[in-house]
């Protein structure tokens, strides 16, 4: 059994309705939660059926992690074993959800699984990553791309080919199929982040006790907007929250980051 949550902000209601319609076709889906951070309530999304709950936050933008936590707490309360956090700009077939559910049901040592993710044109999105250093985050964002081409390929584990299962410490928050008990043990998303690094934070915490896997057997499509590359306001949000992340875990001295990254690279070199 699985609950799913989508955190929305001024959503494309047609897109959300189409996605929800596909999600509830899955035989394992128990409930879908639409957590709306928009200024105005959407009447279009408020009545999508008994298995869908629309929750408007009274015009307050709570951020990504805090929004999803509202739904995750419902999964914890109702002892639903799995919870899927995903973006509204994802395209996924019900059979993919069923496949991931079956995989997680058979592998109790897995805390998170993420499938292969592509752009609409079929190009792969490199969303399996090492834990970042400040250089990885701020250098590649503010300095010429040519300076970071090799380092960025290393950081995004491109040499793996993305054609095999990998246990990595950082999986993208655009689609995280999670074991509820693992999320609870990690104390859910850290609500000090408004958006952006909460997926790094949660994956690395769960990675301590569970496998956090990339599974290329099935594919989803992500219409990735890369908002912080187009908006100065979102760039500011990204920068502030990444500073919070490094204040928490360590800027240049993070022994857990060093260990997890080393073990990840050793694993990949053995394959």
State pLDDT tens for residues 110-126: 999 999 999 999 999 99
Which of left, alpha, beta for 111 (phi over 0: left; psi -120 to 50: alpha)? Answer: alpha
* Res. 142 pLDDT band, cuts 50 70 90: low
Q: Which pLDDT does position 271 carry in this prediction?
A: 63
Q: Mean pLDDT over residues 151-170, rounded?
A: 94
DSSP string over the chain: -EEEEEEESS--HHHHHHHHHHHTTSTTEEEEEEEE-SSS--GGGS-S-TTEEEEE-TT----HHHHHHHHHHHHHHTT-SEEEEE-TTEE--HHHHHHHHHHHHH-TTEEEEEEEEE-TTSPBP--EEPPPPHIIIIIHHHS-GGGGHHHHHHHTTGGGTT-S-EE-SEE-TTEEEEEHHHHHHTTSS-TT-SSSTHHHHHHHHHHTTSEEEEEEEEEEEE----GGGT-HHHHHHHHHHHHHHHHHH-SS--HHHHHHHHHHHHHHHH-
Contact criterion met (CB below 8 Å) for 107 and 28 = no
Q: Which pLDDT does position 129 carry in this prediction?
A: 97
Q: Which pLDDT does position 147 carry in this prediction?
A: 65
State pLDDT tens for residues 5-48: 999 999 999 999 999 999 999 999 999 999 999 999 999 998 88
pTM of the model: 0.93
Query: Is residue 146 over pLDDT 80?
Result: no
Q: Which pLDDT does position 227 carry in this prediction?
A: 46
Query: Is residue 143 over pLDDT 80?
Result: no
Q: Which pLDDT does position 261 carry in this prediction?
A: 97
Q: Which pLDDT does position 59 carry in this prediction?
A: 87
Q: Which pLDDT does position 228 carry in this prediction?
A: 44
* Res. 136 pLDDT band, cuts 50 70 90: confident
State pLDDT tens for residues 163-198: 999 999 999 999 999 999 999 999 999 999 998 899
Domain architecture of the chain: domains with CATH: 2-270 (3.90.550.60)
Query: Is residue 216 over pLDDT 70?
Result: yes
Question: Which residue carries 């990949």 as its tokens?
Answer: 268
State pLDDT tens for residues 232-256: 688 888 889 999 999 999 999 999 9
State pLDDT tens for residues 63-109: 999 999 999 999 999 999 999 999 999 999 999 999 999 999 999 99
């Amino acid at each position: 059994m699985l609950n799913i949550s989508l955190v929305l902000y001024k959503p494309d209601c047609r897109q959300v309705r189409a996605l929800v319609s596909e999600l509830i076709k899955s035989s394992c889906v128990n409930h879908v939660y639409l957590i709306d951070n928009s200024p105005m309530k959407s009447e279009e999304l408020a009545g999508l059926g008994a298995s869908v709950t629309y929750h408007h936050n009274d015009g307050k933008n709570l951020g990504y992690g805090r929004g999803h936590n509202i739904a995750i707490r419902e999964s914890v309360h109702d002892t639903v074993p799995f919870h899927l956090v995903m973006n509204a700009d994802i395209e996924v077939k019900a059979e993919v959800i069923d496949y991931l559910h079956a995989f997680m049901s058979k592998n109790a040592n897995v805390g998170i699984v993420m499938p292969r993710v592509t752009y609409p044109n079929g190009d792969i999105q490199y969303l399996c990553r090492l834990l970042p250093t400040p250089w990885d985050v701020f250098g590649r964002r503010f300095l010429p791309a040519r300076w970071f081409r090799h380092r960025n390929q290393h950081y995004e584990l491109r040499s793996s080919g993305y054609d095999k299962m990998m246990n990595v410490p950082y999986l993208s928050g655009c689609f995280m199929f999670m074991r509820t008990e693992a999320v609870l043990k990690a104390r859910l998303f850290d609500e000090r982040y408004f958006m952006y690094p909460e997926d790094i934070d949660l994956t690395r915490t769960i990675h301590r006790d569970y496998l956090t896997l990339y599974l290329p057997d099935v594919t989803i499509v992500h219409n990735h907007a890369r908002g912080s590359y187009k908006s100065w306001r979102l760039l500011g949000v990204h920068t502030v929250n990444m500073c919070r992340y490094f204040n928490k875990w360590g800027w240049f001295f993070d022994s857990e980051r060093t260990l997890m990254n080393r073990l990840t690279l050793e694993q990949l070199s053995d394959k």
